Structure 1
Amino acid sequence: MNRPARTAATHPVVPGYHPDPSVCRVGEEYFLATSSFEYAPGVPIHRSTDLVHWELLGHALTREDQWPLGTFADSRGIFAPTLRHHDGRFWMITTDVDGLGGQLLVTAQDPAGPWSPAVRLPHVAGIDPDIAWDDDGRCLVTFCATLEPRIHIMQVEVDPATGETLEEPRSMWSGTGLEHPEAPHLYRRDGWWYLMVAEGGTGRGHAVSIARSRSPRGPFEGAAHNPILSHRSLGHPVQSTGHADLVERPDGTWAILFLGTRPRGSFPGWHVNGRESFLAEVKWRDGWPHAVDSEVSVAAPGWFEDELAAPLGPRWVSPGLLPEDFVSPAPGGGVELRPADAPSGAAAMIAARCTEEHWRATAEVEPGTGTAALRVRLDERHWVEVRAGAGGLSGVVRVGDLEQTLTSLAFDGTAARLEVRSVPPTTGGPDDLELAAHVGGRELSLGRLDGRYLSSEVAGGFTGRMWGARAVEGTVTVRRLAVGPLEGA
């Protein structure tokens, strides 16, 4: 069977929930930061040499002196970073929408860390901060002002060492008039300063527009061909395109990274992996950027297997608490997990992003006297999990206020391989989720769920599906976690 080509026009270069990409180049290498919301550690940092193949280095926010870990509700917390390299250091500024509020700024010599304690910008009220320096070295923060009578783009000079504002914020060009202008970024090119924003809301109407000025403070004039990037009202497999960042390659060509979704199934379309990071090319004409599809090949996913050891690798995060707060080495290999709830109420789990449309994930567990689970989570009110423990095997689902056990079977309490599969849908959804356990060489079915119930269209929010393991009761051992593409899908 001939399959459509896997190109950047239709497949993300950083798959799974990695929204709000911000990219900078240092020499021959590119570095990328994305939003993390309630998950800890926060703000993943990736590295690439070609903008297509990305390696996860670590996270910028890992400690209490940077942000209040575990306090964020679903899809709250850390919004929309900007990553820049200036004066020999990496700078990452982002929004803490809860916690201590306002913007926070951290720096590092090495993007893999460690990153500095956070400098707070308490008087920059809004979201989506950008950081740039003018020709005199003055630091400008441009942001989406959400507390004003109308949402629009503003800018203020700050002292990056203290976080203090040095002037009254000024209003800036705020797009073409579409709703919710946000995600501003400033660039310098050929004597012009460019201000790029997202507008239209982070749904199907999302768009990217741009303006230019001789000064980073404006006034700015919008491009006649705005928006420069949008898939609204198009039958494109990638939708909700916006919140973008530009980057220049060493050879002088430019590219744009942006978020998008991959909805599937019947109307209105259901996306489950969250907003992912995509790549397009940029052509400059008459001093203005034009985004065009990239036809570069994107590699198909392989099988990932982790014979777990503490401390865990950077792939593993948790809603609220840091993994090290409830994970320890297990005798004989693997890790022991303990039940733990974050201050926000989120149940601790070691979690990784779901990255493909159809996949299967497994967990090899030894529950002992406790209960272990393999969970697929969209948020704390929308999840499925396979459980194994002294009380038996079960498939459990939660959708909103409803929590239901789909199937229960007896279990001897020693060892099991738990499995969740994302399979082609039987109805009009994006997929079905099959729950199973493997014990003594036999596969035991534990239920099936329409994947629409774990979609952003049902649950709302800004994240995507995560998969991983947790302890429901008692201390449990997890020897191995694995995930890969579903054969034949």
Structure 2
Amino acid sequence: MIQNPILPGFNADPSICRVGTDYYIATSTFEWYPGVQIHKSTDLVNWELVSRPLNRKALLDMRGNPDSCGIWAPCLSYADGKFWLVYTDVKRLDGAFKDAPNYITCCETIDGEWRDPWYINSSGFDPSLFHDDDGRKYFMNMQWNHRGKGTGGNPKHASFDGILLQEWSPDKGLFGPVKNIYNGTERGLTEAPHIFKRNGYYYLTTAEGGTGYEHAITLARSKDIWGPYEDHPQKYLMTTAGAPDHPIQRTGHGQYVETPDGEVYHTFLMGRPIKGPNGEGRFCPLGRETGIEKCVWREDDWLYLEAGGLLPRTQVPAPSNVEKRAIAPSKTDFSQGSLPDEFQWLRHPEPERLFRLEDNALVLIGRESAGSWFEQSLVARRQEHLKYNAETTLEFEPENYQQAAGLTTYYNRGKFHILLLTHEPDMGRALTLMSCAGDYPDGALTFWLEGPQAVKSADIDMRVEVDHASQQFFWRYKGDEKWHAIGPQLDASIISDEGGRGEHASFTGGFVGMFAMDITGGAKEARFERFSYVPDVQRRAAQR
């Protein structure tokens, strides 16, 4: 069986394609660098991260991009002996404008060096490329209407002004007529177009209803790629709107794929909400994840879920017998000389300004604050479990309170918790614990300790234990056996889409990692000797 999600943790907007017997899924990375995650599978059950192709300045520079901007909804395809990747680098979230340049790049191998991109247009986001049987290529994106009063946190249907289609070639660029081929259903917020072809029909899948709990996958078809398109008899292939007790929620935004044997599946975006710290509300600490459902064609030439209805299942029949692999804890001592695959950083195409690996350690170069959109020294990995612990060993010699380094659970610059080693006047080295509990501009720092806690050594172990809606930080001197809790239990629901301004204002996922800042501009360095991420920890408070 396939267990949903197939890509746990922040892996949104899945675009899937098959090449021979291999399957590939590309997902959004938003402000995290390098851009786009591509996973590979041979059985639709076991997936391996094989590439983050947007890994240099010529392909992507996100310095200054607001939170939840950057890489939205890539489209991955294969034709002419090459992989093709279409992507948007969104430069604005709030307000009437979006500023969303769209690009195409390609590469003969999935993990090779992708060519410098073709700039395509900026009329909207969620671009897609369709390769027709006759070799012609068609580019699509949703059209953004800045007169429609669509703002971050409060999207308006009128800002989503239909799906544009135009022919494209590597030599000519966009050419010929551009046409709005589909305005969507009454659910609105129509985006994420993908076309596939079968039995003489062009099938158009789109995402509707926004990124929250009204999300849906809509299906339409036409005998002519230019339309008109008729809606599916159910309108939607998948949605969990109106089913609040279903374990999978926020279902939408996916793509169709066929196996070599002709079985059919459809990826989808999903969330797994849990209750907040007071047992109220719901939030998705693992962000927007990737799922997949098995589908069937019926005599009316329409695609339906194999099990019927509109709700995706947590377990789905796989195309063949497979062996489920165990998920091993992630532990590294940074001795390999390169950043482990699970880690990313924020926005910057020149990582040498933020960190380096040397002498079996990750050295972070203190740059701007945790509130920066430009140059922030934060190296982190996705939260993939509702219950986990993370540890690191820090060596740091701060000289003033503007220099600090430590361990953080992080969503964006307005939603984080950080345990920091810093320097306090008349005290020297000290620990402090701070949080930001709401998206800017409303967010403000909260300091949880009555006063900074003096420490005698520059070598500190730090630990955070996350258990569903709560989390607790710990510390000890390097080499000690006993951990010491520091500060209160904190609200882990902050580290989610639903934290702060809510589900439509931010839509990425939780991270845990290492951070350093030096807002004097002196680039003070912090040395991290190790980092571990261990899921499903069982706390043993009696031993502490």
Query: Normalization by structure 2: what TM-score?
Result: 0.82
Query: Does structure 2 retain, via aligned residues, the 8 Å contact 1:310–1:327?
Result: no
Query: Does structure 2 retain, via aligned residues, the 8 Å contact 1:156–1:166?
Result: no
Match of 1:427 in 2: none
**1:305 aligned to which of 331, 347, 357:** 331
**Distance change >3 Å, CA 389–CA 441, structure 1 → 2:** farther
2:220 is paired with a residue whose SS is strand
Q: How does 1:12-411 map to 2 (within 5 A)?
A: 12-98=5-91, 101-122=100-121, 124-147=122-145, 150=158, 151-161=160-170, 164-234=173-243, 235-265=245-275, 266-286=279-299, 287-291=301-305, 292=307, 293=313, 294-295=315-316, 301-308=327-334, 309-322=336-349, 323-331=351-359, 333-341=360-368, 344-345=373-374, 347-369=376-398, 371-389=404-422, 391-400=429-438, 401-407=443-449, 408-411=452-455
Query: How far is the alpha carbon of 1:267 from its aligned partner?
Result: 4.0
- Distance in 1 (alpha carbons) for counterparts of 2:132 and 2:247: 39
2:514 maps to 1:476: no
2:461 maps to 1:417: yes
Query: How far is the alpha carbon of 1:169 from its aligned partner?
Result: 1.8
Query: Does structure 2 retain, via aligned residues, the 8 Å contact 1:366–1:372?
Result: no
- Distance in 2 (alpha carbons) for counterparts of 1:217 and 1:173: 9
- Distance in 1 (alpha carbons) for counterparts of 2:105 and 2:368: 27
2:198 is matched by which residue type in structure 1? R
- Distance in 2 (alpha carbons) for counterparts of 1:74 and 1:368: 30
- Distance in 2 (alpha carbons) for counterparts of 1:335 and 1:464: 24
Query: How far is the alpha carbon of 1:368 from its aligned partner?
Result: 3.6
Query: How far is the alpha carbon of 1:162 from its aligned partner?
Result: 5.4
2:284 is paired with a residue whose SS is coil
Match of 2:486 in 1: 446
Query: Normalization by structure 1: what TM-score?
Result: 0.91
* Gapped regions of structure 1 (runs ≥ 5): 1-6, 425-430
- Distance in 2 (alpha carbons) for counterparts of 1:268 and 1:389: 36
Per-residue deviation, residues 435-484 of structure 1 (Å, max 9, x unmatched):
11122222111122112222221234011111111223421111111101
1:20 is paired with a residue whose SS is strand
Aligned residues: 474
- Distance in 2 (alpha carbons) for counterparts of 1:70 and 1:217: 38
- Distance in 1 (alpha carbons) for counterparts of 2:58 and 2:206: 31
Match of 2:507 in 1: 462
- Distance in 1 (alpha carbons) for counterparts of 2:176 and 2:83: 25
- Distance in 2 (alpha carbons) for counterparts of 1:215 and 1:192: 7
1:462 is matched by which residue type in structure 2? F
- Distance in 1 (alpha carbons) for counterparts of 2:325 and 2:63: 35
2:105 is paired with a residue whose SS is strand
Query: Does structure 2 retain, via aligned residues, the 8 Å contact 1:139–1:159?
Result: yes
**Distance change >3 Å, CA 20–CA 280, structure 1 → 2:** same
2:281 is paired with a residue whose SS is coil
Query: How far is the alpha carbon of 1:68 from its aligned partner?
Result: 2.2
Q: Which moved more, 1:150-159 or 1:61-70?
A: 150-159
Measured on the aligned residues, the alpha-carbon RMSD in Å equals: 2.2
Query: How far is the alpha carbon of 1:57 from its aligned partner?
Result: 1.3
1:282 is paired with a residue whose SS is strand
Per-residue deviation, residues 340-382 of structure 1 (Å, max 9, x unmatched):
2497246221111111111111112212446431111110011
1:452 is paired with a residue whose SS is helix
- Distance in 2 (alpha carbons) for counterparts of 1:299 and 1:451: 29
* Gapped regions of structure 2 (runs ≥ 5): 93-98, 149-157, 308-312, 319-323, 424-428, 519-523, 540-544
Query: How far is the alpha carbon of 1:299 from its aligned partner?
Result: 5.9
Match of 1:4 in 2: none
1:275 is matched by which residue type in structure 2? R
Query: How far is the alpha carbon of 1:488 from its aligned partner?
Result: 4.1
1:396 is matched by which residue type in structure 2? M
Query: Does structure 1 retain, via aligned residues, the 8 Å contact 2:35–2:60?
Result: no
**Distance change >3 Å, CA 420–CA 160, structure 1 → 2:** farther
- Distance in 2 (alpha carbons) for counterparts of 1:339 and 1:310: 20
Query: Does structure 1 retain, via aligned residues, the 8 Å contact 2:73–2:127?
Result: yes
1:127 is paired with a residue whose SS is coil
Counting aligned pairs with the same residue, the percent is 27
1:328 is matched by which residue type in structure 2? R
Query: How far is the alpha carbon of 1:233 from its aligned partner?
Result: 1.2
Query: Does structure 1 retain, via aligned residues, the 8 Å contact 2:104–2:119?
Result: yes
Q: Which moved more, 1:297-306 or 1:171-180?
A: 297-306
